[in-house]
Amino acid sequence: MKTQGKYGVTAKATAQVLCEDVRNFSTRRRNILYLMHRYLVENGYYSSAESLKTEGHLSEEYELCDNIDLDAMYLEYASFFNLKFGKYPKILKKVGAKIKVEMSGKGQEKPVVKDITKNAKTTPTTEASLANWHISMGAATAALNNEQPLQIKKMETAVDANGQETSNGYEIEHGHLGADDALFSSMDWQSLAELVKTSILQENIKLKWSDVCGNQRAIELIKEAVLTPIEYPQLFAHGLKPWRSLLLHGPPGSGKTFLAKALYSETQGLVTFFNITASIMVSKWRGESEKILRVLFHMAAKRAPSVIFLDEIESLTSKRDRSTDHESSKRFKNELLQLLDGMEHTLNGVFVLASTNLPWDIDEAFLRRFEKKLLVQLPNAAERSCLISRLLGSSISLNARLLEQLVEISDQFTGDEIRLACKEISMHRVRCATKLADRSTGLPKESQAAIEANVEKAFRQVRPLGQKLLAKHEQWQQENGS
């Protein structure tokens, strides 16, 4: 075999050298010692690292690469183990076995029984094992000296009140203990449950339904689905089910997410609110995204009443007949379809609230799962007047003529675009304050005409985007809405 080429050792020869290097026991042992030394140093065990360096005869000749560490190797091994066997490796705490020593003699009416595990409960594992060995050996010696028969039996497994056998060893799980039921008995499911728990909102948001300008139809539907079953459970005691899913669509900035925030604020302490994004749902590991979905709906059912809010849902529920779809994406969508379809029977008390700017990109099967599909309308003249007065009333004085003019300019504006225009007016006053050279003279007082001109200019700078999509949303609502 040719090992030398024009540019030195060939790739094949290099691979063989590396393979032999890995298979060599002494080289492998040396590499492990260096990995352990690095791990101890990085975690602050300097005395242990120095002892390992001395006893292992480690020198400064070798240095580990930055991309090699024990954590990465353990995670890689755990992932391989899970892929091969369907579960992650676990570490068990060692507990001494229960042994019963019975010594019986001719002069004794009853056998003397010694339970040697009593001391093991209050001593460390290694010390308990040594104590067990010494006690058993001492008992055996005494039995031989007295010529008494020695019987060593393994203690029976404890049985709990339900008749189930229990073990003395307990598992040290890498995830969260105390899960809801058997679904979270493995470390794999527990780690996914911890990930889903991060989506539960616990922020202190102070909003009221009165802070929402317009969209009374959407507010009524949300109240019917979430608040009415809590306040009047007797109305749903005879087979009637509340709304279980609602899809909000409309131009960007029309207030879909704001409605979800108001719902969370009004139901704090009463409802568990899951704020789901694509970063939580999508995983690079095969089959893990479907598991996250199942854990999400399972936890929502266990913590009912609960709300699952899926913002920008078109990124997760696009049409399934596209040639660009990956196999993992198809499996994820099929799992979500099954969970949404089975909610009425198994997931009582769970309400799915979704929002989208592109409802026509959602697959028809998902649209069927949503019981209500509602267009979030742009604010009308009265709602725009109320919103402008609320945002500008504390900063400038608005007369009736100026307010009417701003309402006319902001026609086809979304609520967020009106907010941006009002923010531009406030920032203009900040610019005037920062440009003032002599602060001792105070702020120059602007005339009412100048104020009105600046306000009108700020509103005219906004280019409304909602009017471009509003007609398409209205047509879609007529064809598919409910």
Q: From first to last of its 482 residues, what are the pLDDT tens digits of the chain?
A: 444 444 444 555 665 665 665 567 677 788 888 888 888 888 888 889 888 888 888 887 777 776 677 877 777 777 777 777 777 787 776 666 554 545 444 444 444 444 444 444 444 444 444 455 455 455 444 544 554 444 444 444 444 444 444 433 333 333 333 434 556 666 777 788 888 888 898 888 888 888 888 888 899 999 999 999 999 888 888 878 888 889 999 888 888 999 999 999 999 889 999 998 878 887 777 778 888 888 888 888 888 899 999 988 888 888 877 766 677 788 888 888 888 876 555 667 899 999 999 999 898 889 988 989 999 988 888 888 888 888 887 677 778 888 888 888 888 888 888 888 888 888 877 777 777 655 555 555 666 677 778 888 888 888 887 777 888 888 898 888 87
Q: What pLDDT is attached to residue 16?
A: 63
54 CB burial (10 A radius; 0-12, 13-18, 19+): exposed
Q: What pLDDT is attached to residue 373?
A: 92
Q: What pLDDT is attached to residue 158?
A: 42
**pTM (two decimals):** 0.59
Q: What pLDDT is attached to residue 264?
A: 92
| CA 94 centroid distance within chain | 33
Q: Are strands 99-103 and 112-115 parallel, antiparallel or unpaired?
A: antiparallel
Domain segments of the chain as ranges? 4-68, 99-154, 195-375, 381-480
Say if residues 254 and 476 touch (Cβ distance below 8 Å).
no
Q: What pLDDT is attached to residue 272?
A: 92
Which residue in 253, 265, 159 sits closest to 464, CA to CA?
253
Q: Which fold has domain 195-375?
A: Rossmann fold (3.40.50)
CB atoms under 10 Å from CB of 188, counted, come to 18
Asked if domains 195-375 and 381-480 share a fold, the reply is: no
Q: Which fold has domain 381-480?
A: Helicase, Ruva Protein; domain 3 (1.10.8)
State how far the Cα of 285 lies from the Cα of 94, in Å rounded to an integer: 32
Q: Any idea how long the chain is? A: 482
